[in-house]
């Protein structure tokens, strides 16, 4: 398993977590010096039932054990908030939502605010099960009467956890006119109170509308302007299962990776005054979770990597190419995929473009579904999404 060693930055994050202030009650408009910390993830796709492994989500058969390990780590870190931006369960079935809510309750009862947004998978079976199972987490917060959107205040931070699943079990994403009005009114009030605003949703706010279909992004075209006008500089979303950073004007959107794929990443956010610090790191399966889970996670990651390598290698064998050159092409393909999943492809792009196996890899996958997607990755890799730091308001 690939483990990232964060060194000085990780030590700074831990220090900021240790001095975090606990939240204040909703409805208070007092100006406060902001000190806030959170663990952030998305697309848990939790199920209490055993699921089959897949190429994209190698740890899926062990999601029950992995989720409990993640909960243990969150409780040990003691952030102000644990945030999950949608697709909490794999299907929205009552038995899965009920089991996950029990784990969320454990985090909640450890003194950590649990802040959730619904995702399209959470409504596949029963939309009402969401409120029944997770409603206790937002008691006392400000609720939009026309959706599951919630405003939570913790210290000097106002967190808008938005329901973009207006299409029910379908893939449409967006806010009604009444929810947009609720959002505008409350954004203006929170900005006037001097609070920092975090915006959460399942689908993306800033993905390019000319490139990505509607199922990947929130349909309201005015939303970026609404957030920018309110000074809501930090956005957390999910749905794509891969780590990604998008920036436009003062807006910074972090799309969180699914924690059961790639390097099993979670995000850690610290705010101290106007200093914003975000960093991804792998779930520590060595310290948390049941015995043997670390080895299971490592083996699952190896199998996924080998399957990615096999994609171009199998194509090359049909053309009679040597195993040696095919292995090099396969290694390169796996490196691109893993870097993309973890949001660090931009950092490795120059090395990848100079790799002697790149031309062969391109030739092997050109006529497959991977071809156009691979070329787009190399041409539009974006920004390194493994870390973000900036000064609020600047």
Secondary structure of residue 31 in the 3-state scheme? coil
In a domain, 86, yes or no: yes
181 and 265 part of one domain: yes
Task: Round the CA-based radius of gyration of the chain to a whole number and report it.
Answer: 21
**Domain tally, the chain:** 2
For 129, the domain range is 7-288+383-391
Neighbours of 25 (CB within 10 A): 8
Q: pLDDT tens for residues 290-310?
A: 999 999 999 999 999 999 999
275 and 326 part of one domain: no
194 and 331 part of one domain: no
387 and 372 part of one domain: no
In a domain, 166, yes or no: yes
13 and 107 part of one domain: yes
In a domain, 118, yes or no: yes
In a domain, 2, yes or no: no
Distance of alpha carbon 101 from the chain centroid: 19
Whole-model pTM: value is 0.89
| Residue numbers in the chain where pLDDT is lower than 70 | 1-33, 51-56, 124-127, 167-172
237 and 327 part of one domain: no
**CATH number of the domain enclosing 76:** 3.60.21.10
pLDDT value of residue 51: 67
pLDDT value of residue 9: 42
171 and 192 part of one domain: yes
pLDDT value of residue 317: 93
214 and 166 part of one domain: yes
| Residue 185 to residue 196: CA distance in whole angstroms | 16
Q: Helices 63-77 and 94-109 sit at what angle, rounded to 10 degrees?
A: 20
Burial class (CB in 10 A: 0-12, 13-18, 19+), 42: buried
Query: E strands along 162-208, which residues?
Result: 196-200
167 and 226 part of one domain: yes
pLDDT value of residue 130: 85
In a domain, 1, yes or no: no
For residue 243, CA distances in Å to 113, 192, 266 come to 23, 32, 10
259 and 364 part of one domain: no
- Eight-class DSSP state of 257: P
203 and 265 part of one domain: yes
In a domain, 103, yes or no: yes
In a domain, 129, yes or no: yes
Q: Which residues contact 348 (CB under 8 A, 6 or more apart)?
A: 335, 339
In terms of DSSP bridges, do strands 35-41 and 265-272 run parallel, antiparallel, or are they unpaired? Answer: antiparallel
Burial 110-148 (b: 16+ CB within 10 A, else e): eebbbbbbbbbbbbbbbeebbeebbeebbeebbebeebb
- Eight-class DSSP state of 229: H
In a domain, 335, yes or no: yes
284 and 297 part of one domain: no
Which of 186, 201, 316, 195 lies closest to 255 in space, CA to CA? Answer: 201
């Amino acid at each position: 398993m690939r483990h990232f060693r964060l060194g000085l930055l990780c030590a700074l994050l831990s220090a900021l977590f240790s001095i975090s202030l606990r939240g204040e009650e909703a409805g208070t408009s007092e100006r406060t010096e902001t000190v806030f910390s959170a663990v952030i993830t998305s697309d848990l796709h939790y199920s209490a039932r055993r699921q089959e492994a897949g190429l994209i989500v190698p740890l899926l058969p062990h999601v029950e054990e992995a989720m409990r390990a993640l909960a243990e780590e969150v409780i040990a870190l003691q952030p102000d908030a644990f945030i999950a931006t949608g697709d909490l369960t794999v299907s929205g079935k009552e038995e899965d939502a009920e089991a996950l809510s029990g784990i969320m309750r454990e985090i909640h009862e450890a003194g950590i605010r649990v802040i959730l947004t619904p995702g399209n998978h959470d409504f596949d079976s029963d939309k009402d099960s969401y409120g029944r199972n997770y409603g206790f987490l937002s008691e006392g917060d400000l609720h939009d009467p026309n959706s599951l959107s919630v405003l939570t205040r913790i210290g000097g931070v106002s967190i808008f956890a938005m329901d973009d699943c207006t299409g029910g079990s379908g893939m449409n994403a967006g806010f009604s006119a009444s929810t947009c009005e609720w959002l505008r009114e409350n954004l203006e009030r929170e900005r006037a109170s001097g609070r920092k605003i975090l915006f959460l949703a399942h689908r993306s706010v800033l993905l390019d509308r000319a490139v990505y279909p509607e199922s990947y992004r929130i349909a309201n075209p005015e939303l970026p302007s609404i957030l920018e006008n309110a000074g809501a500089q930090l956005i957390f979303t999910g749905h794509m299962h891969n780590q990604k950073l998008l920036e436009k004007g003062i807006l910074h959107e972090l799309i969180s990776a699914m924690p059961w794929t790639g390097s099993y990443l979670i995000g850690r956010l610290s705010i101290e005054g106007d200093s914003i610090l975000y960093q991804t790191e792998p779930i520590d399966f060595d310290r948390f979770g049941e015995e043997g889970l670390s080895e299971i996670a490592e083996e699952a990651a190896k199998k996924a990597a080998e399957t990615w390598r096999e994609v171009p290698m199998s194509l090359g064998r049909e053309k009679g190419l040597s195993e040696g050159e095919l292995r090099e092409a396969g290694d390169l393909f796996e490196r691109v995929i893993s870097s993309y999943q973890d949001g660090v492809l931009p950092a490795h792009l120059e090395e990848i473009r100079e790799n002697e196996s790149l031309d062969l890899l391109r030739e092997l996958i050109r006529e497959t579904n991977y071809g156009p997607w691979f070329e787009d990755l190399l041409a539009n890799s974006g920004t390194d999404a493994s870390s973000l730091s900036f000064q609020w308001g600047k």
